């Protein structure tokens, strides 16, 4: 249950005072620098004390998506742990990519549960910068990151994956500095307008009917309305407002022709679809990365900027090479 929902119901979540980390944020047999708890019957039970290590054998028995809880007071210790792993000489790039992505999923979840959008926007900067730093540091980082897609569809997983893929495309297309940061943040918040679409529609198990679809298609406008209240860049607003435009000029909400769509929104149009095709939803089986790219480059090609679609193929090539 989200904290917002818990407080609306007048119940305090028993995880209050703790933040979640995914099991796979931890490297087996490596000592932690923070206390780790598990929740049993709504009560926090100490699982690992700071300084102890999670045995590889035990990790194997835990589900990949299982979570531990760490006291809020030790948040800086956890951040330091991730930072140290990212900068550890000799640690495999694939392991680093996994630690960064796994630790960012719960962070993205927190960002999306925040009622205070300003705080969420601020927090997103650090999250995106961590990925950019890693990609700049390790030439093969992007290939591994892109290969670690989520298997289930949740708004925060989807948003994080779209951000990671967009950073990958952005890197190939030559984005750098503030531009690539804004691209990553814009991608992370591209669906923020879904906050104003009814949860029953967002979570519906199956295709939407016409009325629901009309509501859903309003999320770019809702998103723009939210972002307009904060001092965000025009690029970030375009990522949100224009990511469902189509290069053919028949997208929504403005039916912009290809060259009038903001380049960052053109990138997100591609990464958003790629993620939807490769992620499992209740009503469809996910496509493999190769099948999704083939499908987008044949059946859907006219919807996207052709140069950017080429860049997506390049990412796939690098992923395979990795």
Q: Which residues bind Fe ion (CB under 5 A)?
A: 191, 272
Can you tell me which residue has the tokens 């997208």?
A: 251
Question: 24 or 150, CB closer to Fe ion?
Answer: 150
Question: 140 or 215, CB closer to Fe ion?
Answer: 215
Interatomic CA distance for residues 162 and 102, integer angstroms: 15
Instruction: From residue 118, give the alpha-carbon distance in Å to each of 107, 121, 258.
Output: 16, 5, 31
Picking from 306, 286, 298, 317, the residue whose alpha carbon sits closest to that of residue 158 is 286
Interatomic CA distance for residues 203 and 273, integer angstroms: 18
CB of residue 272 to Fe ion, shortest distance in Å: 4
3-state SS assignment for residue 31: strand
CB of residue 231 to Fe ion, shortest distance in Å: 23
Written as six digits, the tokens of 220 are 């770019």
CB of residue 94 to Fe ion, shortest distance in Å: 27
Question: 59 or 300, CB closer to Fe ion?
Answer: 300
CB of residue 191 to Fe ion, shortest distance in Å: 4
CB of residue 129 to Fe ion, shortest distance in Å: 22
3-state SS assignment for residue 236: helix
CB of residue 113 to Fe ion, shortest distance in Å: 18
Residues with Cβ < 8 Å from 272, sequence gap 6 or more? 162, 190, 243
Question: 27 or 186, CB closer to Fe ion?
Answer: 186
SS3 of 109-162: the string is: HHHHHCCCHHHHHHHHHHHHHHHHHHHHHCCCHHHHHHHCCCCECCHHHHHHHH
Question: 19 or 165, CB closer to Fe ion?
Answer: 165
CB of residue 102 to Fe ion, shortest distance in Å: 21
CB of residue 54 to Fe ion, shortest distance in Å: 34
Cis omega before residue 261 (within 30°)?
Answer: no
3-state SS assignment for residue 40: strand
Question: 15 or 221, CB closer to Fe ion?
Answer: 221
Question: 35 or 191, CB closer to Fe ion?
Answer: 191
Q: Outline where the chain has alpha helix (H).
A: 3-8, 56-61, 75-86, 93-113, 117-137, 141-147, 155-172, 177-188, 199-202, 210-216, 219-228, 234-241, 263-278, 289-298, 306-321
Interatomic CA distance for residues 234 and 220, integer angstroms: 14
Question: 166 or 181, CB closer to Fe ion?
Answer: 166
């Amino acid at each position: 249950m989200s904290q917002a929902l818990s407080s609306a119901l007048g119940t305090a979540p028993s995880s209050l005072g703790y933040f979640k980390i995914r099991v796979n944020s931890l490297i087996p047999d490596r000592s932690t620098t923070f206390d780790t708890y598990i929740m049993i019957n709504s009560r926090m039970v100490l699982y690992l004390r700071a300084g102890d290590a999670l045995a590889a054998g035990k990790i194997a028995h835990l589900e990949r998506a299982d979570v531990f809880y760490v006291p809020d007071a030790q948040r800086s210790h956890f951040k330091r742990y991730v930072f140290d792993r990212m900068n550890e000489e000799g640690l495999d790039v694939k392991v680093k990519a996994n630690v960064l992505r796994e630790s960012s999923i719960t962070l993205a979840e927190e960002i999306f549960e925040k009622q205070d959008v300003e705080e969420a926007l601020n927090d997103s900067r650090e999250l995106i910068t961590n990925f950019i730093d890693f990609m700049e540091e390790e030439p093969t980082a992007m290939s591994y990151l892109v290969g670690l897609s989520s298997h289930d569809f949740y708004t925060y997983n989807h948003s994080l994956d779209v951000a990671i893929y967009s950073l990958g495309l952005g890197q190939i297309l030559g984005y750098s500095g503030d531009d690539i940061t804004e691209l990553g943040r814009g991608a992370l918040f591209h669906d923020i307008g879904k906050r104003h679409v009814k949860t029953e529609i967002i979570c519906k198990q199956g295709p939407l009917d016409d009325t629901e679809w009309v509501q859903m298609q309003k999320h770019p406008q809702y998103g723009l309305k939210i972002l307009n209240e904060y001092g965000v860049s025009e690029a970030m607003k375009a990522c949100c407002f224009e990511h469902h435009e189509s290069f053919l000029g028949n997208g929504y909400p403005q039916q912009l022709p290809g060259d009038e769509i903001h380049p960052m929104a053109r990138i997100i149009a591609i990464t958003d679809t790629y993620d939807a095709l490769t992620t499992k939803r209740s009503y469809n089986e996910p496509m493999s990365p190769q099948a999704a790219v083939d499908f987008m480059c044949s059946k859907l090609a006219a919807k996207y900027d052709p140069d950017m679609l080429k860049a997506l193929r390049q990412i796939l090539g690098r992923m395979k090479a990795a």
